[in-house]
Amino acid sequence: MAQRGCFITLEGLDGAGKSTHVAWMTDWLRQAGISLLCTREPGGTPLGEQLREILLHQAMDLRTETLLMFAARNEHWRTHIQPALAQGLWVLCDRYTDASYAYQGGGRQLGTDAIAQLDAWTQPGHGPDCTFLFDVPLAVARTRVQQGRGTADRFEQENAAFFERTRQAYLDRMAADPDRFRHIDASHGIPEIRIRLDACLQALVQHWQSRP
Ligand code: TYD
């Protein structure tokens, strides 16, 4: 039986520059000979992508938002991520459950209990093996979002206090599970960030491939 693949997630505030690095990390891993599923949340399945459109653009109650994030995630995990990992593929996912803790739990102040319950119910026993947190001061993230694309989605329209809470919730997640997280100072330029990512990915591949 194939060795289980490594499950990597990317997290950070809108405007942290995460999307810029996804393609580069995907290429890096493929060039290292790793078979990879590159995916995102909310989304990643036909149903999940429909839910993404609703989540990003339609006003709704916070519990509904949280349940829909987990509905999309459950579908994604069971039909795509888990089978891929079981076949030995690595999975690189742009946002995952930490985003629910950060955005719904922190930003929207739902707290962690409900999210922890949904997490335990939909995904007992297995989460990401490694999470890259692209962390920037809020002012940098806000400027990048404002300079970026056209219409802001429901999350990008939130105020500074929302994003301060979201960032803090990410940092709390990292403090609680330091072995899983790689902190990426995303206020640096792209070349410096790539040097850091390169080192992290090399170490991760070595570690994973030397496991018994
Ligand atoms: P993202 O893919 O980063 O958007 P973009 O296309 O702008 O790069 O994520 C979409 C938004 O969804 C983002 O603002 C964070 C939010 N989100 C949550 O609030 N909770 C979640 O569990 C997830 C996965 C995303």
Strands 90-94 and 130-135: unpaired
Task: Kindly report, residue by residue over 174-194, the tens digit of the pLDDT.
Answer: 999 999 999 999 999 999 999
Residue nearest to atom 23 of ligand 1 (CA): 99
Residue 158's SS3 state is coil
- Residue-level pLDDT at 163: 96
Burial of 164 (0-12, 13-18, 19+ CB in 10 A): middle
Partners of 91 in the β-ladder: 7, 37
Distance of alpha carbon 103 from alpha carbon 154, whole angstroms:
12
pTM: 0.96
Partners of 18 in the β-ladder: none
Task: Kindly report, residue by residue over 8-45, the tens digit of the pLDDT.
Answer: 999 999 989 898 899 999 999 999 999 999 999 999 99
pLDDT of 87 strictly over 70: yes
Partners of 7 in the β-ladder: 91
Crossing angle for the helix pair 138-147 and 160-176, to the nearest 10 degrees? 120
Distance 13 CA to ligand 1 centre (A): 9
Work out the pLDDT band at 124, boundaries 50, 70, 90: confident
Distance 109 CA to ligand 1 centre (A): 16
* CB-based contact 16:139 (threshold 8 Å): no
Residue nearest to atom 14 of ligand 1 (CA): 155
Q: How many residues does the chain have?
A: 212
- Angstrom CA distances, 100 to 23, 135, 205, stand at 23, 16, 27
- Residue-level pLDDT at 149: 65
- Residue-level pLDDT at 146: 80
- Residue-level pLDDT at 15: 87
Ligand 1 residue neighbourhood (C-beta within 6 Å): 14, 19, 40-42, 69, 94-95, 99-100, 103-104, 155
Work out the pLDDT band at 1, boundaries 50, 70, 90: low
